[in-house]
Amino acid sequence: MKKEYIKPYIRKQTAGVMNKFGVSYNKGHREEIEGFHIGDFTEKFGSPVFVLSEKVIRERYRKIYSYFSSKYPKAKMSWSYKTNYLDAVCSVLHQEGETAEVVSDFEYQKARRLGVPGKKIIYNGPYKPLESLIVAFKEGAMVNLDNFDEIIKAEEAAKKLDIKASVGIRVNMDTGVYPQWSRFGFNIENNNAFNAVKRIQHSEYLHLEGIHCHIGTFMMEPSAYKEAVKKIVQLMRRIEKEFEISISYLDFGGGFPSKNILKGTYLPPEVAIQPVENFIDAITDTLLEELEPKEYPEVYLETGRAIVDEAGWLITTVDAVKRLPDGTKSYIIDAGVNLLYTSAWYNYHVEIDREIHGAYENSIIYGPLCMNIDVVVESAFLPPLPKGTRLILSPMGAYNMTQWMQFIRYRPAVVMILEDGTVEQIRRPETLQDIVGPESVPEKLKRFQF
Amino acid sequence: MDKDKLAVLAVSESGFIFDPVTGHSYTANATGLKILELLKAGKEPDEIRSVLLDEYDSTEDEVSVDVNDFIENLKKYFLI
Amino acid sequence: MKLTVAVSGINTIDNPGPGAGICRALKESGMDVRTIGLAYDALEPGIYLDHIIDKSYIMPYPSGSREAFIERIKDIHSRESIDVIISALDAELPIYMDIEPVLKDIGIKMLIPSKEMFRLRDKLRLKELAEKIGVKAPEYMSCTSLADLHNAVNELGFPCMVKGPFYEAYKANSPGEAEGYFGKIAAAWGYPIIVQKFIQGDEYDVIGCGDGNGNDIGVFAIRKMTITKLGKVWNAVSIRNEKLIEATKRVVKGLSWRGGFEFEVLLEDKTQEIYVLEINPRFPAWVYFPAGCGINLPARMVQLLTGQDYDTHSDYKSGKLMIRYTNELVKDISDFEQISTFGETSEKGE
């Protein structure tokens, strides 16, 4: 009987990093996702493959919505399409009752095609083509305007339809966090926001219905929302008094963090990230403090990442193992930054699909692209992985399936584990025809010979 | 291959290795210690590979990649 | 009653942690205490100080997973039956605050602040806190990018202090210096980095411990006489400044502070006004100094947690001098082998 083989290692002990355990004491591994074996996914759908969980999406949504609606009477939530606009994902959230929050004509059309009525769409973003505004007004969407030129454009659209269109404005303000997102919307402190309302109320074709803000992304500090709510309620009061109108909705956007590990943070996310309840408390407590019950407007949240991020994984395969000239261990996997745009700001959680003995070391995980920038994880503490090991990267549900690009390689399958215990492909892997379909070659370039 | 440096290493069963000449210390696992022992005894990489294959449950491909990697590491540490 | 107390921060290096001082204070308290060192590196000097630390273990870094951290504590607890853990490092405190209920369930007690108290003393919220306790706070701005830094130094002028989220503070006299410190701190500890206006004055420090109900169980004030390049106190003299002691008591009361703390202040030269610089949520490295003067805070903390009688007075003499010195121990490479390969020291006499 031969002995079990463990990959050999020798390591020099260096002052300052002599910790036997490093960051990984329990050397766990992950053999399955919700009861489905990791290998079954890759066997059936190829590698890499994105895996989403219907159950987790619903649970995350319900947790947030039930807390939010228990704290404020007119609580509404709208699904942030840009976070993940795969039809199946949007459908789960629409079934839960979320409306659609879109930021482009493409997203608007995608929501409509999926069966979301215009009245259940919030249309945000700094650029809205005239034609799309005409459609949105005609269909009764909630449109939040971003700048003075857009007010003029909206007026033109409403004039063409000969209606008085309801609009909201997006505002920005100092909430004590850096960087301040001052490029979107009208600034409150310098009176820009008030002037925008004045301009809208002067118009024959527009009237103000709501106020929208979105103070940042991956916010770590709930108190910023408290500031935002205070300033917006103040603005609302001033507008209501000055123009004798009633604001029917306030939209506080999103920006709540997930348990992804932002680069540059030291503590693990279970500890560094405050629970989502704290963010909701900051908003609802402040609203209840500032408002009289008779004036409660509808309040929207556009939570994206905090719902879907932890509902997604990427299963990928180690294709080669390489030791770099400086001694660093590195791995080449079959998914790169083309699929993982978010690798620029997150240190993903990396799990392996089997128990592997041997010494852990800090390793670099490279993607498959022939590009120097294709680094998926700059430093992962891993045992010696043999070729063929599957890595499970997470959280993956937010932004990857929208910001991915078709660059060098095809985009892989996305599957969803359904609540009934089945797995379904919700986006098939791309084929050559998907990519070349829109292309055409001028007649005289069609022939070549070597 | 220069074996003089390997000869002076104080190797403990725990996997702790102390170099009394340079003052550096290293840690290695059992397989690592085995390779080190074979190198000290003057074995060539090919011989080391076959010893490991006799003793452990593995494939020729895996062992040969690992032995090369191990020797590369020793070179990096200027131990051979 | 024989007690086992585990203590972290036993890195008595040039930027020392308080762990060794805590253990020494416990050993000299007259209580029957077994001290366990929790280290993060095989060369933390406390590991080798076996006259005050009975046994040491290596812990996984607090930046790793929470579960791994708990598992390791449970493993040590199964062999040591720990009664109390005294956490003594800023960077690990959030994880202890998070897992305190888990530790309580298995019988390990801690006297540490709640997450809310911890947030209130955050460097980013000093202004709020200063108002609450009736002292001043120097102007500061928090930065997460070089652009923020340039903006902040333009606003606050030079010289200014550049400070990390957990540790390290440097005085910068020029944009170049500020940028250098910014990069250095960010690489080690991440963001945000705080740029603070420089105020001319003397630095004072108060150590204390709150019982979580608004009372302190002893405070002790010093003037820093010499500080190291890293901003750590090296020599100090005990003082009795009633204004400062009262401000400290207001901190304990205002936050209902639970656990050890260090209240770092600056008394401005021209006005003698108190500026709060920082509230560190744990004992400082010089924790032995008050113990040597009759205010043994680690011992009082352990007594409080284990239901024994404890003193709460702050009767100490001004004019006591703390002289810190460096020293060399002679050990064998096998001691290092033991901790670096097995993750724990051998039992004394083994």
Most confident of C26-30, C66-70, C240-244: C26-30
Tell whether the model's pLDDT for residue C350 goes beyond 50.
Answer: no
Look at the alpha carbons of A66, A71, A77, A83 in this order and tell me if their dihedral is positive or negative. Answer: negative
Are residues A363 and A221 located together in one domain of the fold?
no
Q: Does A2 touch chain B (CB under 8 A)?
A: yes
pLDDT of A26: 47
- CATH label of the domain that carries residue A179: 3.20.20.10
Q: Does B15 touch chain C (CB under 8 A)?
A: yes
Instruction: Give CA–CA dist B10/B7, Å, rounded.
Output: 9
Instruction: Give CA–CA dist B57/B59, Å, rounded.
Output: 7
Tell me whether the omega of the peptide bond preceding residue A179 falls within 30 degrees of 0, making it cis. yes
Calculate mean pLDDT across residues C246-275. Answer: 92
Domain housing C183: 142-195
Kindly state whether residue C133 falls inside one of the protein's structural domains.
no
State which H helix or E strand residue C265 sits in. strand C258-268
Kindly state whether residue A446 falls inside one of the protein's structural domains.
no
Are residues C303 and C209 located together in one domain of the fold?
yes
Contact A270, A330 (CB under 8 A): no
Are residues A319 and A277 located together in one domain of the fold?
no
Over residues A216-273, the pLDDT tens digits come to 888 878 888 999 999 999 999 999 999 999 999 999 998 888 887 777 676 777 777 8
Instruction: Give CA–CA dist A123/A258, Å, rounded.
Output: 24
C259 closest CA partner among C118, C141, C65, C70: C118
Kindly state whether residue C349 falls inside one of the protein's structural domains.
no
Chain C residues contacting B via beta carbons under 8 Å: 333, 336-337, 340-342
Kindly state whether residue C159 falls inside one of the protein's structural domains.
yes
- CATH label of the domain that carries residue C106: 3.40.50.20
What does each C-alpha distance from A291 to A70, A242, A295, A296, C232 come to in angstroms? Answer: 17, 18, 7, 7, 49
Kindly state whether residue A250 falls inside one of the protein's structural domains.
yes
What does each C-alpha distance from A402 to A148, A201, A214, A345, C201 come to in angstroms? Answer: 29, 37, 20, 16, 55
Domain-ending residue, one of A271, A287, A309: A309
Are residues A223 and A363 located together in one domain of the fold?
no
Strands A165-172 and A206-212, bridge-based pairing: parallel
Q: Residue A131 CB: number of other CB atoms within 10 A?
A: 10
| Contacts of A43 by beta carbon, 8 Å cutoff, 6+ apart | none
pLDDT of A10: 86
Over residues A343-392, the pLDDT tens digits come to 988 889 899 999 887 777 789 999 999 988 999 999 888 888 989 999 99
Over residues A151-193, the pLDDT tens digits come to 999 999 999 999 999 999 999 998 877 667 788 999 999 999 9
More confident residue, A101 or C228: A101
pLDDT of B22: 86
Contact B20, C345 (CB under 8 A): no
pLDDT of A261: 78
- CATH label of the domain that carries residue A361: 2.40.37.10
Structure tokens at C3: 């007690």
What does each C-alpha distance from A147 to A126, A152, A194 come to in angstroms? Answer: 7, 9, 12
Kindly state whether residue A145 falls inside one of the protein's structural domains.
yes
**DSSP symbol at A77:** E
Q: Does B14 touch chain A (CB under 8 A)?
A: no
Are residues A222 and A317 located together in one domain of the fold?
no
For residue B56, give the nearest of A5, A10, A359 by CB distance: A5
Are residues C209 and C312 located together in one domain of the fold?
yes
Kindly state whether residue C316 falls inside one of the protein's structural domains.
yes
Are residues A207 and A156 located together in one domain of the fold?
yes
Considering chain B, what is the average pLDDT of its residues? 89
Are residues C41 and C75 located together in one domain of the fold?
yes
The answer to whether A21 contacts C94, with C-beta atoms less than 8 Å apart, is: no
Q: Which residues of A touch C140 (CB under 8 A)?
A: none
Number of domains in chain C: 3
Selected residues 51-80 of chain B with any CB under 8 Å from a CB in chain C? none
pLDDT of A114: 97
Over residues A393-437, the pLDDT tens digits come to 999 999 999 999 999 999 999 999 999 999 999 999 999 999 999
Instruction: Give CA–CA dist A155/A65, Å, rounded.
Output: 35
If you write DSSP's letter for every residue of C221-251 in order, what string do you get?
A: EEEEEEE-TTS-EEEEEEE--HHHHHHHHHH
Calculate mean pLDDT across residues C264-281. Answer: 90
Query: What are chain C's partners, defined as 3 or more CB pairs within 8 angstroms?
Result: A, B
The answer to whether A12 contacts B35, with C-beta atoms less than 8 Å apart, is: no
Tell whether the model's pLDDT for residue A104 goes beyond 90.
Answer: yes
Tell whether the model's pLDDT for residue C57 goes beyond 80.
Answer: yes
Contact C172, C159 (CB under 8 A): yes
Are residues C80 and C147 located together in one domain of the fold?
no
Over residues C295-346, the pLDDT tens digits come to 999 999 999 999 999 999 999 999 999 999 999 999 999 999 888 888 889 8
Are residues A389 and A255 located together in one domain of the fold?
no
The answer to whether C165 contacts A266, with C-beta atoms less than 8 Å apart, is: yes
Number of domains in chain A: 2
Find the range with the poorest average confidence among A76-80, C73-77, C191-195, C232-236. C191-195
Are residues A280 and A371 located together in one domain of the fold?
no
The answer to whether B25 contacts C342, with C-beta atoms less than 8 Å apart, is: no
Contact A253, A194 (CB under 8 A): no
Domain housing A348: 32-51+312-430
Domain-ending residue, one of C178, C195, C212: C195
For chain B, percent of residues with pLDDT exceeding 70: 98
Are residues A384 and A297 located together in one domain of the fold?
no
Tell whether the model's pLDDT for residue C269 goes beyond 90.
Answer: no
Kindly state whether residue C47 falls inside one of the protein's structural domains.
yes
Tell whether the model's pLDDT for residue A135 goes beyond 80.
Answer: yes
pLDDT of A20: 63
Task: Quote the minimal CA–CA distance from C340 to chain B in Å.
Answer: 8
pLDDT of A17: 59
Are residues A260 and A386 located together in one domain of the fold?
no
Amino acid identity of residue A393, one-letter, is L
More confident residue, C64 or C251: C251
Strands A142-145 and A165-172, bridge-based pairing: parallel
Are residues A89 and A160 located together in one domain of the fold?
yes
Q: Which residues of B touch A359 (CB under 8 A)?
A: 27, 29
Kindly state whether residue C257 falls inside one of the protein's structural domains.
yes
Are residues A154 and A80 located together in one domain of the fold?
yes
ipTM: 0.91
Over residues A106-133, the pLDDT tens digits come to 999 999 999 999 999 999 999 999 999 9
Q: How far is CA A270 from the centre of its chain?
A: 19
Residues in chain B, total = 80
A380 closest CA partner among A396, A365, A359: A365
Tally C-beta pairs within 8 A across A and B. Answer: 68
Calculate mean pLDDT across residues C65-79. Answer: 90
Instruction: Give CA–CA dist A417/A37, Å, rounded.
Output: 12
pLDDT of A118: 97
Sheet of C193-197, strands arranged across = C140-143, C193-197, C160-163, C169-172
Tell whether the model's pLDDT for residue C102 goes beyond 60.
Answer: yes
The answer to whether B62 contacts A386, with C-beta atoms less than 8 Å apart, is: yes
Find the range with the poorest average confidence among A242-246, B35-39, C135-139. C135-139
Are residues A330 and A243 located together in one domain of the fold?
no
Q: Which residues of A touch B57 (CB under 8 A)?
A: 2-5
Over residues A6-28, the pLDDT tens digits come to 888 888 887 665 666 655 554 56
pLDDT of A263: 74
| Contacts of A190 by beta carbon, 8 Å cutoff, 6+ apart | none
Q: Does B14 touch chain C (CB under 8 A)?
A: yes
pLDDT of A216: 84
pLDDT of A24: 53
Three-state secondary-structure class, residue B74:
helix
Confidence of residue C271 (pLDDT cuts 50, 70, 90): confident
Name the packing angle between helices C126-133 and C242-255 (round to 10°).
110
